[in-house]
Homo-oligomer: A and B are copies of this chain.
């Protein structure tokens, strides 16, 4: 929620917020970046794939700890200091993996797309989205109990593993280009 709601929680006039931020979006950007402050980059000593997974998983769980802001993180490019710091870590990992500069940027975009979507799913799925449950049941015919939960960290890890396979294949195929 926002502006009036935040102002009420802060026990101040709604307009006082506009003294500090030009608009609602700027305020949410700032909060979003703050939510990523605690995410640690394992750094260049860690193997690139572990570093990559580490950053992405940590960013995901950090965002989920502030569910109110997760939707906004999911919707905007990471231009705050912490967002850029993590993007730099991912970029370094991908470069170390052997991708060309162009491939690094494309893969960075793909990864951010994936994390934000996984985040969005986790947020508006609660923990188990009844709607998703119905899709899965309709498709698979599996009993409900064994289905992977939408937006779960297991589900996130699975998709990330697919992408890591792709990155390795891409690096092997065109690394020097």
Interface residues, chain A, with chain B CB atoms under 8 Å away: 74-79, 84, 87-88, 91, 101-110, 113-114, 116-118, 120-121, 124, 129, 131-132, 134-136, 138-142, 146-148, 150, 155, 158-159, 161-170
Please tell me if the beta carbons of B166 and A135 are within 8 angstroms of each other in the complex: no
Contacts A76-B131, A77-B131 given: A162-B166 contact, CB under 8 Å?
yes
Task: Known contacts A91-B140, A135-B84, A139-B91; decide if A110 and B162 are in contact (CB<8 Å).
Answer: yes
- Residue pair A105, B147 in contact (C-beta under 8 Å): yes
Given contacts A109-B121, A113-B117, 15 further A-B contacts (CB under 8 A): A75-B120, A76-B131, A77-B135, A101-B141, A102-B148, A104-B140, A105-B142, A108-B136, A109-B155, A114-B159, A117-B117, A161-B166, A163-B163, A165-B169, A169-B169
> How many copies of this chain are found per oligomer?
2
Shortest CB distance A108–B (Å)? 7
Q: Which residues in B have their C-beta under 8 angstroms from that of A106?
A: 148, 155, 158-159
A109 contacts B150, C-beta separation under 8 Å = yes
Cβ distance A168 to chain B, nearest Cβ, rounded Å: 8
Bound together, the chains give a CA A132 to CA B74 distance in angstroms of 14
A-B contact pairs, 17 of them (CB 8 A): A76-B131, A77-B131, A77-B150, A79-B131, A79-B134, A88-B139, A101-B140, A101-B141, A101-B142, A104-B140, A105-B148, A107-B162, A109-B136, A109-B155, A113-B117, A161-B170, A162-B170
A14 CB, min distance to chain B CBs, angstroms: 24
Provide the bound-state CA to CA distance between A107 and B155, in Å: 9
A5→B78 CA distance, assembly (Å):
32
